[in-house]
Amino acid sequence: MSAEDDTTAVERDSQGRHDAIREHEVERTFDQVVEKGRPRLYRTPVELLASGTIAGVEIALGVLAFLSVEQATGSKLLAGLAFSIGFIALLLGNSELFTEGFLVPVVVVAAKEATYGQLVRFWALTLLGNLVGGWVTMWAVVTAFPAIRSGAVRNGATFATSSLTLSTFLLAVLAGVAMTLLTRMRNGTDNDVAKVVASVAVAFLVAGLSMYHSVLDTLFIFGGIHAGGGYGYGNWIVFFAWSVAGNVVGGLGVTTALRLLRSSERLQEWRTHPGPHHDT
């Protein structure tokens, strides 16, 4: 008698698969994403603002590292590696970056473990904190390090004066894909070294290759404005709207959507029977 015949009486999922051929590692990772992400959406407004503000400070310090290395070496690729200090600080400090909130919180809401209202509040307060913390810290950076002001103006102009073209939109889409992939990689392992390596790799891609990241590149623009660049907050608003749209398409429309499709059976189990599913 075949193994298939032995399992005819075994309960199967909606795809006709019995327990022995389900991908338990993928499902365990999905469970961890929901369980780890759920508390983030239940933070108080003050906690969300504080977490977002700290993240803005940390990313600004990454920008400082980028500008310093670029000034010393003339290489954006090396500067991108230096910027990884900001992503590593986010990882170890458990602070909250707006574009890192595309995968985990959305999965939590899709699993019916939080509401859409909580998700919108999470995004809004996290983004506000990122911008406030980044604006203040970039003022401190260009004031304390006058030697990097010209670099701040030049890098800020790259984004503030860019055109709204298919190319720049795709740079924003790719940044959204990369950042959400970083979140996925961090949640896919418990090894801190692997998480740091992932942070360095994505920093190289996003900062070193000048992808359009709504928060990171906003801090370059803020630095350039503080340093006296010939562009202002009107330029920033246009850039920000354009890059957020692309980041959302890449982060939500590509990476997160595919992740939900990849774990659709487990997602349905969460939606039908809320709560832990480790023993399912």
Using 50, 70 and 90 to split pLDDT, how confident is the model at 8? very low
Greater confidence (9 vs 76) lies with 76
Sign of the Cα pseudo-torsion (25, 31, 32, 34, in order): positive
pLDDT of residue 151: 96
Q: SS3 for 176?
A: helix
How many CB atoms sit inside 10 A of residue 192's CB? 11
Answer yes or no: are the C-beta atoms of 160 and 235 closer than 8 Å.
yes
Nearest to 70 by CA among 207, 218, 217, 212: 207
Q: Confidence class of residue 278 from pLDDT cuts 50, 70 and 90?
A: very low
| 150 vs 186, higher pLDDT | 150
For 82, other C-beta atoms within 10 Å of its C-beta total 25
Section 55-73 average pLDDT: 97
State percent of the chain over pLDDT 70.
88
Residue 12, pLDDT above cutoff 80: no
pLDDT classification of 263: cutoffs 50, 70, 90: confident
Is 79's pLDDT higher than 60?
A: yes
Q: What is the mean pLDDT of the chain?
A: 88
Least confident residue range of 35-39, 80-84, 133-137: 35-39
| CATH of span 22-272 | 1.20.1080.10
Average pLDDT over every residue of 27-54: 90
Quick one: pLDDT at residue 172?
A: 97
Confidence band, pLDDT 50/70/90 cuts, at residue 7: very low
Single-letter code of the amino acid located at 94? N
Domain-wise residue ranges, the chain: 22-272
Q: How confident is the model at residue 1 (pLDDT cuts 50, 70, 90)?
A: very low
CA distance 80 to 208: 4
Write out pLDDT tens, residues 201-231.
Answer: 999 999 999 999 999 999 999 999 999 999 9
State which amino acid sits at residue 22: R
DSSP 115-172: -HHHHHHHHHHHHHHHHHHHHHHHHHHHHH-GGGHHHHHHHHHHHHT----HHHHHHH
Q: Per-residue pLDDT tens for 87-145?
A: 999 988 888 899 877 888 999 999 999 999 999 999 999 999 999 999 999 999 999 99
CB 182 within 8 A of CB 63: no
